[in-house]
Amino acid sequence: MTQAQLAQGTSPLLAVRDVSVVFGGIVALNGVSFDMHKGAILGLIGPNGAGKTTLFNCLSRLYQPSSGDILMEGVSILSRPPHRIAEIGIGRTFQNVALFPNLSVMDNVRVGAHSKTSGDIISDSLRLAWVRRSEASINKKVHEILAYLDLEEVAHTTVSGLPFGTQKRVELARALAADPKILLLDEPAGGLNHEEVYVLGDLIRRIRDDRHMTVLLVEHHMGLVMSIADHVVALNFGKKLAEGTPAQVQADPDVIKAYLGSKDQ
């Protein structure tokens, strides 16, 4: 199977190779492999406990796979500590919104640009000329993103007081501030109503097109995944159940049995 994928010609932007994760005696992921190609929106689906979030946490290096490898542009990311994942172009959002609650929207997004900038405590304390230039360019970038996501009005508001839907947009803005090549979205539709999910789907597609990103969407909301994903990977009990276009996966008898079937009954 690996050879077949290599023969496709275009090398994948991100390759998950035979990844397994074992917690004590529990196998959370069991030999999962798939590729993400540049510019695609890949939907990762599966019932609760299927291993979606475990895989997600392997990608952001919160978990270390027991075996297998994850390659970004052909290079393994597994030797990188979590704080050195952003700099190779992997940005993420969190399942239940993990912002910096006491900072303003602007500062949250500014922290997003941390990996793209440099600085040291002495230059920062003295506010040297290059620090001021760097801050000015961060601010320009942040304002552009806030305008893009319609967050300008709340730029100076502390995030803890904002509605949940707005906080989710702030998180997206924070992830965009580092100009990632891959955007990992962990259940972005969670907690949103029908209307908001529809708007979100549009937004994800727009971000992919405007900002040339590749998106990994881990989602429960089947409607959202099926309407915007180019490619879908279905997991169950830590194993890959099916992979293909949304239509193919939706028609797969195993998937219907494990996931859709059980929901319809």
Partner 1 sequence: MSAAEEVVAEGHQAVEAVPKRAMTLGTGTSLVVLAALVIAPVFVKNFIIFQMTMLLIYGLAVLALNILTGGSGQFSLGQSAFYAVGAYTTAVLMEHFNINYALTLPIAGVVCFGFGFLFGQPALRLSGVYLALATFALATAMPQLLKLNFLEHWTGGVQGLVVTKPDAPFGLPMSQDMWLYYFTLVVTIAIYIFSVNLLRSRSGRAFMAIRDNEIPASAMGVNVALYKTLAFGVSAAITGIAGSLGAIAVQFVAPDSYTITLAISLFLGMVVGGVGWLPGSFVGAAFIIFVPNIAEGISKGLSGAVFGVLLFLVIYLVPHGARQVAIAGKSES
CB 197 → partner 1: shortest distance, Å?
21
Tokens standing for 110?
Answer: 């500014």
Measured in whole angstroms, the distance separating CA 40 from the mean position of its chain's CA atoms is: 13
For partner 1, give the closer residue by CB, 71 or 111.
111
Cβ 93 vs Cβ 177: under 8 Å? no
For partner 1, give the closer residue by CB, 20 or 115.
115
Instruction: Return the residues of window 55-114 that contact partner 1 according to CB under 8 A.
Output: 57, 60, 62-63, 82-87, 92, 94-96, 98-104, 107, 110-112, 114
Who contacts 122 (Cβ-Cβ below 8 Å, separation ≥6)?
Answer: none
Q: For partner 1, what does the binding mask look like between residues 5 and 24, x meaning CB under 8 A?
A: ------------------x-
Instruction: Return the residues of window 183-242 that contact partner 1 according to CB under 8 A.
Output: none
Q: What's the DSSP call for residue 58?
A: H
For partner 1, give the closer residue by CB, 138 or 229.
138
Distance CA 103, CA 263 (A): 40
| Residue 117 binding partner 1, by CB under 8 A | yes
Sign of the Cα pseudo-torsion (165, 142, 227, 92, in order): negative
CB 14 → partner 1: shortest distance, Å?
16
Q: What angle do CA 204, 207, 212 make, to 5 degrees?
A: 130
Cβ 185 vs Cβ 220: under 8 Å? no
Q: Which residues bind partner 1 (CB under 8 A)?
A: 23, 49, 53-54, 57, 60, 62-63, 82-87, 92, 94-96, 98-104, 107, 110-112, 114-115, 117, 119-121, 124-127, 131, 134-135, 138, 156, 158, 174, 178
